[in-house]
Structure 1
Amino acid sequence: MPPFVESNPLSHTFNHNNIVTIDVGGTPFQTTKQTLKQAGSNSLFSTIYNNFEYNCNSIPFIDRDPEIFSILLSLLRTGNLPSKAKNFDIQDLIFEAKFYGVEQLVLNSELNPSQFMPFDLEKSVLLPLCGRNSVTSICTTDNGAVQVAHGCKITCFDWSLKRKSTILTEFAVIDSMLCLDSRMLAIGATDFSGLQILDVVDGCARKNVNWDNVTKSGSTVQAIGSSNELLFTSFESCRRNSNCIMIYDINDDFKPVSKIGHYEIFGAELDSAIPATKLRWLPSYNLLMSAGSHSGPSSVLGNIKFWDLRSGNAVWEIKENVDCFSDITVSDSLSAIFKVGVHSGEVFLADLRYIGADNAWFCLGDERKVKNGKKEGIGCKIESHGNQVFCTKGGNVELWSEVLINSKNGKFRPEDRVFRKNFMGRAKDYCGDRITHFGFGGNRMFVTRKDQQYVEVWQSSVKGF
């Protein structure tokens, strides 16, 4: 928060006891005690403030770059980096910010998710990967870092995208991966038993957890999700005759808390045979979404459930039997579920404000394609970020945004919601192989493509490195 929060921003100007003078590299700077406080108690600015309190006549000297200091001082004053910060390499700014103890302030300002501008994203950087394996999973952090699984390896790029490290795991292929914080990753595979918690800083496994099913045959990970306190893992027994969702306490060394959706499979009970392959937490509704599908001889079937963790019961179930999802996501900010149909390749919406409704889906695109018998949606991916929905079609990315309109008599119906589609990037960004994974971190979008050994970074053309 900027230091001047009073109605009169000049109220401190005439109080000479409030003015602090600092000499940086021979250049004098004057600021206020309130501005210095914005840096936090563990910063060098706090030390300057405390020294000023005891000796008002001394002028501290700091043998550092005065130009970069002026940028950091402007950040403390306004809460944002000034435009002249673009003239410096971000790495230099962070290096100086570490000296002053305000690195996190710079990161929050430069890579703040609120500065994500979806309509202005374009492909800007390629992150190369070692080896010949294609990408099998990616995950991101809020400060714009990205972790990439390829083969038995995980390559971690920090927020600057200039420093990377590679970790070898015991999995042959990593199918599921989730960032729990800037240090810990949860990883799993569909052909190797157990969930592993990795410390990416030390490059080692911190903990292994498993689900002890009835047959004691080991359990493979099908999906991973999390809330602020809990880790959710979808397990399937190695014999594929049982599945469940385990819940672990992140803050208590990943001790098991409870189990939901436990199914022992007998005979041809197809519904119970489908494990959850996607898990998403909805904080506003305090519900966990699980979704899974199964490709049969004639069509693709699936189900979507919303779980109340307190009771352990599903409060809403949608059975997919017409145009089952090729991929699915849920948006807390838009209060909706979005899917891309495996047959039509079109985007559908189900409004969460009408939980329990029958025939919940309505098509945002061309509804005539729903029953065309083809499978145009195979391989399509869909994710929500902020107030937008992103859907991949081959090598392209569609951006769906809601158009706000006035309702009649103040009553809203799901079919009254209007979304418009745009294509992202410039013409040069459209060409490329099929997109296999994508995710969002800070003000960036990360994209991987079939059979490629690199990650595309999409950023705003207005603000970037």
Structure 2
Amino acid sequence: MGTKEQGSELPPAAQPDDRIKLNVGGKLFETTVRTLQSAGPDSLLAALSLRSPATAAGPVFIDRDPDLFSALLSLLRSGRLPSSAAARRFSEQDLLDEALYYGLDSRLRAATAPPPLLGFDAFLSATLISSYGWTLAHAGTLRTHLDDIASLRRVCPEVAALGSLDSPGLHFYHVAGGRHVGSVHWSDPTDPRVYKARVTAIAAAGDAVFAAFECPHRENCVLAVDPETLRVAAEIGRQSGSMVKSAAPGRLAHVRELGLVFASAVSAGAFGYSGYMRLWDPRSGRPCGRRASPEGPG
């Protein structure tokens, strides 16, 4: 049998609660292996955490800004950036550049991202669309060919669907590229009342865009549009519009869990408010539930 040579034993691996000292720009920081590894397996800090305390010869020197590192270390410890004045004086770009160096930019983005905005990422004003990034920093403004934009929905990260109160049709714009992609119109050769239909509401479902169209004579429906080909896939819930309870929807939403489209309309009159809430099945084109509010005092 062979004998174990002296000095061949490997040093013990670092444990989650072991302390590690880092010298960042001449300032000493002390933290734990667990905190550094929370930066992610591919980060620089996680790699430094693998050093065994038994073989470490003093703190690791990192030639970076210690104040920026302090803010990022607080992010790893608590999941958010500190609210101290020292942290607030840094710009978003300063923090992002430093986070990229250490390999924890995804943690920074998650901590500073605003709450979900229900798919909206643009601001509507007359003929303009202003787009914003993940930190709500202004990314650019696009002038469209439309007037009085009233409906907008993000179809994919780069494409938005728009509707106008003055111009018929559903219009698609590549926001980053600054160009008009195409338009979809509601038409029916068998019904002369269907013409110049404007869009009153838009919803997106990944593989389909749902848009409520209304003609000058109030005939209305919801069209399901393929966002890849910009072709109409189905006509849903055609209504005459002659009554409040058959008016064009003012709001659409896709209920992903049920595979249904929610539509609602509200009208104000001398005796208060009236309208409806309805669920449409895009596969059959028929309503599968309805709740209408009778006219009455508001």
TM-score (ref. length: structure 2): 0.70
Note closer, same or farther for the CA distance 1:42–1:202 as it changes in structure 2 (3 Å cut): farther
How high is the sequence identity, in percent, across the aligned residues?
Answer: 27
For structure 2, which runs of at least 5 residues remain unmatched after alignment? 1-13
Instruction: Give the aligned partner of residue 235 of structure 2.
Output: 259
Instruction: Give the aligned partner of residue 178 of structure 2.
Output: 203
Amino acid of the structure 2 residue aligned with 1:246: L
Are the counterparts in 2 of residues 141 and 181 from structure 1 also a CA contact under 8 Å?
Answer: no
Q: How far 1:146 sits from its partner (Å)?
A: 5.4
- Find the residue that maps to 1:217 and give its secondary structure: coil
Are the counterparts in 2 of residues 219 and 235 from structure 1 also a CA contact under 8 Å?
Answer: yes
For structure 1, which runs of at least 5 residues remain unmatched after alignment? 1-9, 115-139, 324-342, 345-465
Amino acid of the structure 2 residue aligned with 1:13: D
Say which of 12, 35, 44 aligns to 2:16.
12
- Within 5 Å, which residues of 2 pair with 1:279-358? 279-283=252-256, 286-293=259-266, 301-323=274-296, 344=298
Amino acid of the structure 2 residue aligned with 1:77: R
Are the counterparts in 1 of residues 163 and 199 from structure 2 also a CA contact under 8 Å?
Answer: yes
Say which of 243, 262, 265 aligns to 2:220.
243
Note closer, same or farther for the CA distance 1:11–1:40 as it changes in structure 2 (3 Å cut): closer
Output the aligned Cα RMSD: 4.1
Are the counterparts in 2 of residues 213 and 242 from structure 1 also a CA contact under 8 Å?
Answer: no
Amino acid of the structure 2 residue aligned with 1:243: N
Are the counterparts in 1 of residues 170 and 185 from structure 2 also a CA contact under 8 Å?
Answer: yes
Relative contact order (alpha carbons < 8 A, sep ≥ 6): 1 or 2 greater?
Answer: 1
Amino acid of the structure 2 residue aligned with 1:219: A
Instruction: Give the aligned partner of residue 193 of structure 1.
Output: 168
Q: How far 1:21 sits from its partner (Å)?
A: 5.5
- Find the residue that maps to 2:275 and give its secondary structure: strand
- Find the residue that maps to 2:145 and give its secondary structure: coil
Instruction: Give the aligned partner of residue 66 of structure 2.
Output: 66
Q: Distance in 2 between matches of 1:52 and 1:180?
A: 47
How many residues are treated as equivalent by the alignment?
277
Say which of 244, 249, 263 aligns to 1:276.
249
1:172 aligns to 2:147 (yes or no): yes
Instruction: Give the aligned partner of residue 77 of structure 2.
Output: 77
Q: Distance in 1 between matches of 2:75 and 2:88?
A: 15
Q: How far 1:308 sits from its partner (Å)?
A: 3.2
Say which of 93, 107, 128 aligns to 1:153.
128
Q: Distance in 2 between matches of 1:229 and 1:20?
A: 49
Q: Distance in 1 between matches of 2:64 and 2:178?
A: 34
Q: How far 1:68 sits from its partner (Å)?
A: 1.5
Are the counterparts in 1 of residues 280 and 286 from structure 2 also a CA contact under 8 Å?
Answer: yes
> Residues 213-263 of structure 1, C-alpha deviation per residue, up to 9 Å, x if partnerless?
3357353211012345543211224x546422122456x566654331124
Note closer, same or farther for the CA distance 1:269–1:147 as it changes in structure 2 (3 Å cut): closer
Q: Distance in 1 between matches of 2:288 and 2:123?
A: 35
Q: How far 1:65 sits from its partner (Å)?
A: 1.4
Q: Distance in 2 between matches of 1:60 and 1:20?
A: 9
Instruction: Give the aligned partner of residue 221 of structure 1.
Output: 199
